[in-house]
Amino acid sequence: MVRSQETVEETRERLIQLDLVTRAPEVTEVDARPEAGVAVDIRGLNAWYGSFQALRGVTMAVPRERIVAIIGPSGCGKSTLIRCLNRMNDLVPSFRADGVVLFEGENLYSKGVDAVDLRRRVGMVFQKPNPFPKSIYDNVAFGARINGYVGKLDEIVERALRQAALWDDVKDKLHKSALALSGGQQQRLCIARTVAVEPEVILMDEPCSALDPIATLRIEELMRELARTYAIVIVTHNMQQAARVADYTAVMMMTEDRAGELVEYGDTREIFTNPQKKQTEDYITGRFG
């Protein structure tokens, strides 16, 4: 967490010194939302688990080819929000949502949308690496197989593993168990598995929370790389991580009786250096709660 004595700028500077952050101000400065185009447009999204309201009128646009970080305290609805984007919440029996989530001009929560087809186009990487208990090759090929891809599986697998910066680590042991890989490699395998089905958006639900700092760094580099092609939405507990990788940052908050409110959303640099809301400032400086 952010040390309270240190300003965000200092934190960022320190991380740059430590070589944990690549200094890429041109990226955030050049980015203007309209040019990047909108990948997912969330408008007035409410969500409930039974009678508990987990999201309250969330409105935000996820740009293409950029990274959006969602930060906020535990239980504030971050995971619920990204799980709305690929309708993973459908699996929770008591879940319901209203509002509009536009993806490719279509509301995800309208009747005709097939969640199975949607999930191919909006990939997801989970908190804990969850490779299938199969070979590395089969892990990556699985998505292509079930979606009935035509084309050489070997090529799909190699391309995906290269995109996930894992090819050199595993090219000699493609048919060994994925469970023998290290945690960081497993998470990159999960990313490879996700990009293998050529999604348009990649959701990451605290992808580094089970990883050590070095593995975390590699995933972050990889995310910057992937953001050339995909829209990425990452949920993170780690504010430095948001500051390091995200172009835009959304801050969600909860109070004792209210959860799931989007407090502030904007350029990451602005959020961390010049937050508009007091709640944001309290949270990012560690004075929250």
Partner 1 sequence: MIAGAAMRRRLRVRRGAGGIFVTLCFAATLAGIVALAVLLITVAADGVQRLSWEFINSYPSRRPEDAGIKVALYGTLWLMAFTGAFAVPLGIGAAVYLEEFATRNWLTRIIETNINNLAGVPSIVYGILGLAIFVRYLDLGRSLLAGSLTMALLILPIIIVASREGLRAVPPSIREGSLALGATRWQTVRFQVLPAALPSMMTGVILALSRAIGETAPLIMMGALLFISYTPDSPFDRFTVLPIQIFNWVSRPQHEFKENAAAGIIVLLIVLLSMNAVAVLLRTWFEGRRKW
Residues that bind partner 1 (CB under 8 A): 86, 88, 91, 93, 116-117, 119-121, 123-124, 126, 128, 130-134, 142-143, 146-147, 177, 179, 190, 193-194, 197
Candidates 279, 255, 225, 233; CA nearest to 78 is 233
Structure tokens of 107? Answer: 């509301």
- The per-type count for the chain, helices as H runs and strands as E runs, is 13, 10
- CB nearer to partner 1: give 8 or 201: 201
Work out how close the CB of 42 gets to partner 1 at its nearest, in angstroms, rounded to a whole number: 19
Work out how close the CB of 124 gets to partner 1 at its nearest, in angstroms, rounded to a whole number: 4
- CB nearer to partner 1: give 114 or 168: 114
- CB nearer to partner 1: give 49 or 142: 142
Work out how close the CB of 132 gets to partner 1 at its nearest, in angstroms, rounded to a whole number: 6
Which string of b and e fits 12-27 if b means at least 16 CB within 10 Å?
A: beebeeeebbeeeeee
- CB nearer to partner 1: give 186 or 268: 186
Work out how close the CB of 181 gets to partner 1 at its nearest, in angstroms, rounded to a whole number: 11
**Residue written as token pair 């690929």:** 86
Which string of b and e fits 143-174 if b means at least 16 CB within 10 Å?
A: bbeeeeeeeeeeebbbbbbebbbbbebbeeeb
- CB nearer to partner 1: give 32 or 91: 91
- CB nearer to partner 1: give 121 or 237: 121
Work out how close the CB of 168 gets to partner 1 at its nearest, in angstroms, rounded to a whole number: 24
Candidates 287, 281, 288, 269; CA nearest to 29 is 269
Tell which phi-psi region holds residue 99, choosing left (phi > 0), alpha (psi between -120 and 50) or beta.
left
Work out how close the CB of 121 gets to partner 1 at its nearest, in angstroms, rounded to a whole number: 8
